Structure 1
Amino acid sequence: MPEAGLASEVAAIAAEAGRLAMARWDTDFKRWEKVPGSPVCDVDLEVDSLLRIRLAALLPDAGWLSEETADNARRLSARRIWVVDPIDGTRDYLRGRPGWAVSIALVEDGQPVIGVLDAPARREVWTAEAGNGAFRNGARLAVAPRDTLAGARVPADQLPRVDSDLVMVAKPNSIALRIAMVAAGEADLLATIRWGNEWDVAAAVLIAREAGAAITDALGRPLAFNTPSGQAFGVLASAPGIHDAAVERLADRAREVLRA
């Protein structure tokens, strides 16, 4: 388990990074695509650099996995590792929309034990520590008590016809914030059916888990972090009462993606 007070120090570092991102948000910064469909900007790199310096000073022995840093296999031998997305939801950041956040997780023995999302444009700070609950702006979070899949609220821009019994709610670009919506009881289900990166979800997975959500990959299997690939096949976060039904509904689609 993390040292006493460490979560507060991580939250302070996330807040510093959030202030930097906010100060640069409405300025003339460079932007480009790492690969088609994957935008990045100068600010991503500036925030990444700040986080690496500050977090390394906190735990010099911890490994590092970040969207904006070249991966290094040495992290695999580390018991503890920082898993970071300096700006999760870069598309919203570039468009001047508030659906982005600084995401920091401390992973210990393959599972997140501290998670922080700092979303300054939304005036939100989400925090969790393993065994101690999850909070937004200091208020304890709890998932919604839903036990039927039909009518479940999903952050989405559109839904396939087969899911027309679900209810769309507003969707921030940040997948971490969408998972956090489940933690806050503002959504009942978030699911992706594709390979995704650990840095996108590590902090939010702990926040949702500590709020009582059920969390698995797209096939209902436990999630693990600091894996060699740094990826997992999808994430499914939901109210516990609908998780099995959600896995069952998505299973064929998930297997089809894996076969492709």
Structure 2
Amino acid sequence: MPARDLQLLLDAAQEAGRIAMRFTGPKAETWHKPDGAGPVTEADLAVNNMLEATLRGERPDYGWLSEESSDGPERQDAERAFIIDPIDGTRSFIDGSSTWAHSLAIAEHGQVTAAVVYLPMRDKIYAAALGSGATMNGVPITATDQEKMTDASVLAARPVMHSDFWRDKAPAFNLGYRPSLAYRLALVAQGRFDAMLTLRPTWEWDIAAGDLILREAGAAVSDRMAQPLVFNKPDPRLNGVVAGGAPLHRRICDALAPVDPL
């Protein structure tokens, strides 16, 4: 089933890219969601409408969780669920940058079993099915085996380096950044960076696809409390995310200041 689901996601992601690229980011109609939830464009909605029609048409018994769809309790009754971010990095899309992505995943009983992260402007498609490894453009990828925090290349926003977030002082990471969380996760899976972390509450649709791609690339992934990530929860938020090779992941989690979970 994960292999069949993966092909479905691959086909849908490529069609999503064709739709999104019909819009020019800076010229796409844009408005802001209520309660400071960020911008959305006509491209986000066009992609979301296609994905919902296509994916649910092929798997009508699967639940549906998407950033751009109304959420309801019915997905909790489904054995499997789609977890979708039609365009991850909408601000990047609006700015005309190339670092936005389509993030598509399927979760079964809380665990992601098939996943795709596609960056059409960069011609990069990351994919994984449970137990089958992870690939970028069809070529197997593997996370790094970096063990030391000093000089580790880490994708994170600068605020996470504030001393309040760490038991001692912040580690001497080589810090990098990409606006799309899905792309950050994929880059760690590819071995381009050693780790990534975000310490704020994070929506499942930003993380689900990258979670499986990372795990299939040999990385460890957890929330900021070192707890496993569980998906398709009634409240679809995660308590931050830490990802990297297993030794480095453990060291980062151990160095973070303890906080209460969500």
Task: Calculate the TM-score normalised by the size of structure 1.
Answer: 0.93
The 8 Å contact of residues 201 and 239 in structure 2, kept in 1 or not, is answered as yes
Aligned residue identity for 1:196:
T
For 2:204, the equivalent position in structure 1 comes to 198
For 1:163, the equivalent position in structure 2 comes to 170
Q: Counterparts of 1:46 and 1:53 in 2: how far apart (Å)? A: 11
Q: Counterparts of 2:123 and 2:248 in 1: how far apart (Å)? A: 30
- Match of residue 213, structure 1, among 197, 219, 234: 219
Size of the aligned set, in residue pairs, is 254
Percent of aligned pairs with the same residue?
37
The 8 Å contact of residues 114 and 130 in structure 2, kept in 1 or not, is answered as yes
For 1:5, the equivalent position in structure 2 comes to 4
Runs of 5+ consecutive residues of structure 2 not aligned to the other structure: 164-168
Aligned residue identity for 1:234:
G
The offset of 1:30, in angstroms, is 1.3
Aligned residue identity for 1:180:
A
User: What whole-Å deviation, never above 9, does each CA across 1:125-168 have from its counterpart, x for those lacking one?
Assistant: 01000000000011101011111111111124534463351102
Aligned residue identity for 1:72:
G
For 1:88, the equivalent position in structure 2 comes to 88
Q: Counterparts of 1:29 and 1:189 in 2: how far apart (Å)? A: 33
The 8 Å contact of residues 112 and 130 in structure 1, kept in 2 or not, is answered as yes
- Structure 1 runs of 4+ aligned residues shifted over 4 Å read none
Give the 3 Å change call, closer, same or farther, for CA 190–224 of structure 1 in structure 2: same
Give the 3 Å change call, closer, same or farther, for CA 145–64 of structure 1 in structure 2: same
Q: Counterparts of 1:43 and 1:87 in 2: how far apart (Å)? A: 8
Residue aligned with 2:241, SS: strand
Aligned residue identity for 2:225:
L
Aligned residue identity for 1:137:
N
The 8 Å contact of residues 218 and 251 in structure 1, kept in 2 or not, is answered as no
Q: Counterparts of 1:219 and 1:251 in 2: how far apart (Å)? A: 9
The 8 Å contact of residues 156 and 197 in structure 2, kept in 1 or not, is answered as no
Give the 3 Å change call, closer, same or farther, for CA 5–43 of structure 1 in structure 2: same
TM alignment of 1:1-260, pairs within 5 A: 1-2=1-2, 4-26=3-25, 28-34=27-33, 35-36=35-36, 38-156=38-156, 158=158, 159-160=161-162, 162-163=169-170, 165-169=172-176, 171-252=177-258, 254-255=259-260
Aligned residue identity for 1:210:
E
Q: Counterparts of 1:251 and 1:205 in 2: how far apart (Å)? A: 23
Runs of 5+ consecutive residues of structure 1 not aligned to the other structure: none
Task: Calculate the TM-score normalised by the size of structure 2.
Answer: 0.92
Question: Which deviates further from its counterpart, 37-46 or 154-163?
Answer: 154-163
Residue aligned with 1:11, SS: helix
Q: Counterparts of 2:203 and 2:25 in 1: how far apart (Å)? A: 28
User: What whole-Å deviation, never above 9, does each CA across 1:159-194 have from its counterpart, x for those lacking one?
Assistant: 44633511023x221101001111011111111112
The offset of 1:36, in angstroms, is 2.5
Aligned residue identity for 1:197:
W
